[in-house]
Amino acid sequence: MADDIDIRIRVNGLPRRATVPPRLTLADFLRVNCGLTGTHLGCEHGVCGACTVLLDREAVRACLVFAVQADGSDVTTVEGIASPDGELSVVQAAFREHHGLQCGFCTPGFVVSVTAFLAENPKPTDEEIRAALSGNLCRCTGYQGIVNAVRAAADREDSV
Amino acid sequence: MTAVSENGHRTAFVDNDKKPCGHGRMLRKEDPRFVRGKGRYVDDLDLPGMLHLAVLRSPFAHARVLSVDTTLAEAHPKVRLVVTGAMLAEKGLAWMPTLSNDVQAVLATDKVRFQGQEVAFVVAEDRYAARDALELIDVEYEPLDPVIDVRTALSPDAPVIRDDLEGKADNHCFDWETGDEAETEAVFARADVVVTEDIVYPRVHPAPMETCGAVADFDQVDGRLTLWSTTQAPHAHRTLYAIVAGLPEHKIRVVSPDIGGGFGNKVPIYPGYVCAIVGSLLTGKPVKWMEDRAENLISTGFARDYVMRGEIAATRDGRILAVRTQVLADHGAFNGTAAPVKYPAGFFGVFTGSYDIEAAHCKMTAVYTNKAPGGVAYACSFRITEAVYLIERIVDCLAYELAMDPVELRMKNFIRPEQFPFRTKTGWVYDSGNYAPTMELTKELAGYDALRAEQAEKRARGELMGIGVSFFTEAVGAGPRKDMDILGLGMADGCELRVHPTGKAVVRLSVQSQGQGHETTFAQIVAEELGIPPQDIDVVHGDTDQTPFGLGTYGSRSTPVSGAAAALVARKVRDKARLIASGMLEVSVADLEWEKGSFHVAGDPEASVTIQAIAMRAHGAGDLPEGVEGGLEAQICYNPENLTYPHGAYICVVDIDPGTAKVTVRRFVAVDDCGTRINPMIIEGQVHGGLTDGVGMALMEMISFDEDGNCLSGSLMDYLIPTSLEVPDWETGFTVTPSPHHPIGAKGVGESATVGSPPAIVNAVVDALKPYGIRHADMPLTPSRVWEAMQGRPTPPI
C-alpha cells in the first residue's frame, strides 16, 4: 500500500497538518481526522451531495476528493459557515425560517451548496435556484422549503 | 373558507369552527444544531478504542454456501475479528426472529437467499481496513436456480427457498383474506358494469439519506450493552435484543440519536445491528457498523411489491357497489414485514377507500422469492399505500369505462359526514370525515373546470395534458392493544412530564423523531395544556434509559398515540397543580378556574397563581394540601381506543412530451385533513416531502432484478429519487375534521401524502394518454415505459 503523505489544509480558517493515506477521502478526513461531522455521507458515489464542502471557495463532493488532493487548499465545511460568534449566516437562518430542513441530514450539503451558489449568482431566477439545488438530494422536504429559503436569502442579501 | 398566502404559495383552508390546538407556526427547536452541522447522528459517534465492522455479502441470489475461508482476513494486521455464520450458529445467534414471527439469517449458514445477504463480518481498526479484509475472505458457493418472478414462485417446479423451515416444500409464505366473498360475488353478479384491471405496485425503497448503522458498546465489567442505532423503535428493539441475545433487559440501553430520515426503513432489526453487538461482545470494544448506499438499497427493508388484480362493480349511473381484489405479495427471502401480529397484510383491508359500498372482499397470497426482506416501509402506514393505490386506480378505470368525470364519480360515492363513525365492509371503523368540502376545496384551488377546458383545447392540438385526482382515507395510529401488538408488545405509548421548581419542564416520549419535528410539536402540545411556553419545555426521546416504554415512530402513529399521551400527562399534572393551587389560594378545588397558565378564584381573576408559582410551591417550603406529594410530575401509558383516519384530496396536472414520452408534473394541489393541526408549518413540510415520494414512485423509483436475481438498483445512479427539478411548487390546503376520540382531536398525517399522491400522478398520466385508448399503465412511468404504453405495449414492471 502506498505510503502516507503529509498534507497541510486550512479548514474553516484553521491550519491543519496531517499524515494520511493517499486513499483517504476528504470527507473522511474532515469527519474522522478533524472531528467535523457536519459533512455527511449519503451515498459515497457523488450523487446525493450531502458531503458538499467548499474547496477554495468552490462546492465539491468531499466523498470524491482525496484528502491529499486538498493539500495546500482552503476548505470550508458547514461548521465554518456561521460567523465566529455563532450567529447563523443568512442562508442558515433562511433554512430555519422557511422550514427548509427536517431530518437535517442533507442540510449541511445544501447550506454549503447554496452559499457557493449565491456567492456566484446573487440574483438568481426561480429556475436558476431549482437548477442549482438539483445536485443535492433531500428525502424530507420536497424541496419547497429549501427553494423558499434560497429565494429569501437571495432577496435579503440583495437588500443588504 | 379562507384563502391565505404563505411564502407566495397558495394555501387555503376550511376550518370547521374548530380552534386549532397549539401555538400554530413555530420554528423548530431542532434546526439550530442541524443548520450548523451540530446534529449527532450514529456515524458521528466516536468512542475510545472504537473498532469498525464491515459485512461480506452474497454475490448470488440463491446459492449453497460450501465453505468460508477467513484465514487471510484474520492475518490482516489491522483485523481484530472475523465472524462467519458457523461461528454464530455455535452461539445460537445465526438466526434471529423477524417482526413477522418468521426467522431471518444474521449470517448465512446453509444457503444465501438473496443477493446482498450477510455472509460474514470483519472487525478492524478502521473502516478502510475492515473493507480491505472483506476481499480476503474466500467463500465457495454452489449456485442454485433463483426465484425472482413472484408469479412463478408457487409453480410446482420452483426451487424451494426456505428449506431451513421444517417440512417446507414450497415458497408459500401466508394467505390472508378479508371481507365477505359470497356477498361480494352476489353484488358483482347483479352489477351493470364490472371493471377488472391488473395493477402492480412495484418494489421501491425508502432510501433515507442516512443509511442504517449502529455503534455497540458492551461493558464487560458491568455486563452492560449500550447500542446507538438508527432505530425508529428503540424500546421494542431493546426488548428484542434481550430476548435474542439473552442479555437482561435492564442491562441494555438503546439510544436512537438524531436520525437522518427513517421512512420505515429503520423499523426492523437488521443483521448488521446484531453483528455489531456480537463484535463488541467478543472484542470488549465499541464497534461501529455503518452500511453504504448499495448495502442499504439491496439488503434493507424494501417497500410495496404487490401484484394486484382489482375489480370494481357499479351501476351504469356510477354508483359503486363493490370492490374485490386478489393480491400476490412478494415478501423476499424472509418475512421481515413490520406489521402488528394479527395483520400480516398490514392495514390493506382499508382498500374500500372513501366510498360507501355494499360489499368487499380481498384474497391475498404472500410468497417467498430470492430478494431482500421487507415490504412495510416508505410511509406506507402498513400497506395503505397499496390499498389506496388500488382503489383510486380502479375507481379511475371505472370512470374511464363510464366516460364519467373522476371527481364527479368520487363525490357521488363518498361516505357522508353523518355516517361517521363508519364501519367499512372489511371491518374498519373510520372515526370522522367530511369528504365533500375537502374535494371541493381542491377543485377550487386547482381551478378544475378551467383545467379541463385547457385540456380539451390542447387535446385538439395533439398535446398531451393529463389531470389526475385521488381521494384517500388513511388509517394511522396503531393501535388499540387488544388488537395490535408487535411480537407481543402492545402498541401503546408512554409519556412522562416533569415540571422543575422554576417552572421549566421536560417531557419524555417513547416515540422517536427522524425529522418529523417532535422536539418542537410535543413541546407545543404540552405548552397548550399547561401554559408553560414551549421554549421552556425540553423534549427527550430515543434513549431507552431516559424515556418511558413505547413502540416508536412509524405508521404516522406519533401524534395519534404519543401526542395523546403528551396531552393527557399534561392534564394529569394540571390536576395536581389544581390541588396545590387550592392550598395556595385557600379555596376549594371547585372554586378554581383554569386559564391557560394559571388558576384563579372563580369570580376573582386577581386571586391567581401561575403554573410556575405552583411548581415552586410543589418543590418548596410551605405546606401542601392533605395527601398531596411534593414534586410536579406525572406519567402515563396511552392505549388508543381506535386509529385515526385522516383524509385528503389531491389533483395533479401533468404534461407529456409526445416525442420523448417524458412526463412533467406541472402542478400538484394537495388538501389534507388531519384534524386539529399542531404546527401548520411542520405539517406542510411533511406533505411536501410525501408528495415528492409520490413523484419518485410514480415516475422514477424501482428496485428491479434481472433473471439471475441480480439487483439492478444498488446505487443512486440506478435508483432515481426526485431532485428539485422533478417536482413543482407544491400547492397545499387543508380542512379540519377533528378525531372525536383523540384528546386534542389530532390525527396523524406524516404518510398521507406518500399514500395519496402516486394514484393522483398515475391517474394524470393515464388521463393524458386517453387519446391512445390506455386505461392503465404500471409505475414507474419512466419515459421508456410511457413510450411503450403509447405504442400499445404496456408491460408490468417485473
Query: Which residue, among B550, B536, B466, has the nearest Cα to B504 in the 3D structure?
Result: B536
- The partner residue sitting opposite B293, judged by closest CB among A38, A45, A97, is A45
- Count of CB atoms situated within 10 Å of the CB of A18: 17
pLDDT interval class at B245 (50, 70, 90): confident
SS3 content of chain B, % helix, strand, coil (to 5): 30, 30, 40
Put simply, the answer to whether A42 touches B685 (Cβ < 8 Å) is: no
Provide CB contacts within 8 A for B773, sequence distance 6+: none
Residue B6: band (very low, low, confident or very high) from pLDDT cuts 50, 70, 90: very low
ipTM of model: 0.98
B460 touches chain A (CB under 8 A): no
Answer whether B775's CB lies under 8 Å from B197's CB. yes
Nearest Cα residue to B199 out of B302, B328, B369, B314: B328
The rounded percent of chain B whose pLDDT value lies above 90 is 95
How would you classify the pairing of strands A74-76 and A5-11?
A: parallel
pLDDT of residue A94 exceeding 60: yes
Residue B182 has pLDDT above 80, yes or no: yes
What is the average pLDDT value for chain B, to the nearest integer? 96
Flag whether residue B342 sits within 8 Å of chain A, measured between CB atoms: no
User: What pTM, to 2 d.p., does this model score?
Assistant: 0.97
Give A6-35 pLDDT, tens digit per residue. Answer: 999 999 999 999 999 999 999 999 999 999
DSSP B725: T
The set of cell numbers assigned to A36 is 467535523
State whether residue A48 sits within 8 Å of chain B by CB.
yes
Protein fold of A5-80? Ubiquitin-like (UB roll) (3.10.20)
The answer on pLDDT for A102 being more than 60 is yes
Q: How far apart (Å, rounded) are the C-alpha atoms in residues B257 and B542?
A: 6
Angle at B341 between CA B339 and CA B347, to 5 degrees: 50
- B372 contacts B298 by C-beta, under 8 angstroms: yes
Average pLDDT over residues B652-674: 98
Q: Which three cell numbers stand for residue B117?
A: 445477504
Chain B residues whose CB is inside 8 A of the A155 CB are none
CA B789 to chain centre: 31
Q: What cell does B38 get?
A: 451540530
B400 has a pLDDT exceeding 70: yes
Tell me how far CA of residue B574 lies from CA of B571, B605, B609, in angstroms: 5, 18, 13
Supply the mean pLDDT for chain A. Answer: 96
Nearest partner of B620 among B717, B520, B500, judged by Cα: B500
Tell me what pLDDT residue A40 has.
Answer: 98
Q: Which residues of B touch A97 (CB under 8 A)?
A: 27
Chain B residue whose CA is closest to A102: B515
Question: Which amino acid belongs to residue B5?
Answer: S
Kind and range of the H or E run holding B441:
helix B435-446
Side-chain-side CA neighbours of B340 within 13 Å: the count stands at 24
**Closest-CA residue to B199 (of B308, B303, B304):** B308
> Smallest Cβ distance to A102: which of B8, B210, B685?
B685
Parts of chain A belonging to CATH 3.10.20.30 = 5-80
Q: Do B727 and A142 touch (CB under 8 A)?
A: yes
A-B C-beta contacts closer than 8 Å: 179
Q: Cα separation of A143 and A130, whole Å? A: 9
CB nearest to A102's CB, from B32, B515, B725: B515
Task: Give the other-Cβ count within 10 Å of B118's Cβ.
Answer: 23
Which residue in the set A111, A139, A142 is minimally distant from B261, CB to CB? A139
Bridge-partner residues for B539, per DSSP?
B507
Grid cell listed for A152? 429569501
Q: Å from B282 to nearest chain A CA?
A: 25
The cell numbers describing B193, all together, are: 358494469
- Whether residue B138 has pLDDT greater than 50: yes
**Shortest alpha-carbon distance between residue B763 and chain A (Å):** 21
Query: What sign has the CA pseudo-torsion B60, B65, B66, B71?
Result: positive
Q: What is the pLDDT of residues B325-336, one digit of tens each?
A: 999 999 999 999
Domain with CATH 1.10.150.120 in chain A: 90-159
Residue of B nearest to A150 (CA): B7
Q: What is the largest CA-CA distance in chain A?
A: 54
C-alpha cell at B783: 419515459
Query: What distances in angstroms separate CA B308 from CA B360, B370, B495, one per listed residue?
Result: 15, 20, 40
**At B1, is the pLDDT very low, low, confident or very high (cuts 50, 70, 90)?**
very low
Contacts of B36 in chain A (CB under 8 A): 38, 78-79, 81-82, 88, 92
CB contact under 8 A, A96 and B692: no
CB-CB neighbours of B308 under 10 Å: 24
- Each residue of B27-46: pLDDT tens digit? 999 999 999 999 999 999 99
Give the range among A156-160, B127-131, B445-449 with minimum mean pLDDT.
A156-160
Please provide the DSSP assignment of B497-551 as one string: EEE-TTS-EEEEESS--SSS-HHHHHHHHHHHHH---GGGEEEE-SBTTTS--B-
A154 vs chain B: nearest CA distance in angstroms?
14
B689 touches chain A (CB under 8 A): yes
Rounded CA-CA distance B665/B468 in Å is 11
Put simply, the answer to whether A38 touches B259 (Cβ < 8 Å) is no
Domain at A90-159, CATH from 3.20.20.140, 1.10.150.120, 3.40.50.2300, 3.40.50.300: 1.10.150.120
* A102·B517 Cβ contact <8 A: yes
Contact A81 B36 (CB under 8 A): yes
**The pLDDT of residue B291:** 98
- Coil, helix or strand for A41? coil
Interface contact flag, A96 B681, Cβ < 8 Å = no
Cα-based distances in Å from B7 to B153, B296, B433: 51, 36, 29
For the residues B555-569, what does the mean pLDDT come to? 97
CB contact under 8 A, B692 and A143: yes
Mean pLDDT on B2-13: 42
Contact A43 B716 (CB under 8 A): yes
**A139 closest CB neighbour out of B32, B43, B263:** B263
pLDDT at A2: 77
The interface residues of chain A toward chain B in range 55-114, judged by CB-CB distance below 8 A, are 77-79, 81-82, 88, 92-93, 95-99, 101-108, 111
Chain A CB contacts of B209 below 8 Å: 40, 42, 48, 50, 103, 105-106, 137-139
Does any CB of chain B come closer than 8 Å to the CB of residue A150?
no
Measured between alpha carbons, how far is B177 from B327 in angstroms, rounded to an integer? 10
Q: What angle do CA B50, B55, B57 make, to 5 degrees?
A: 175
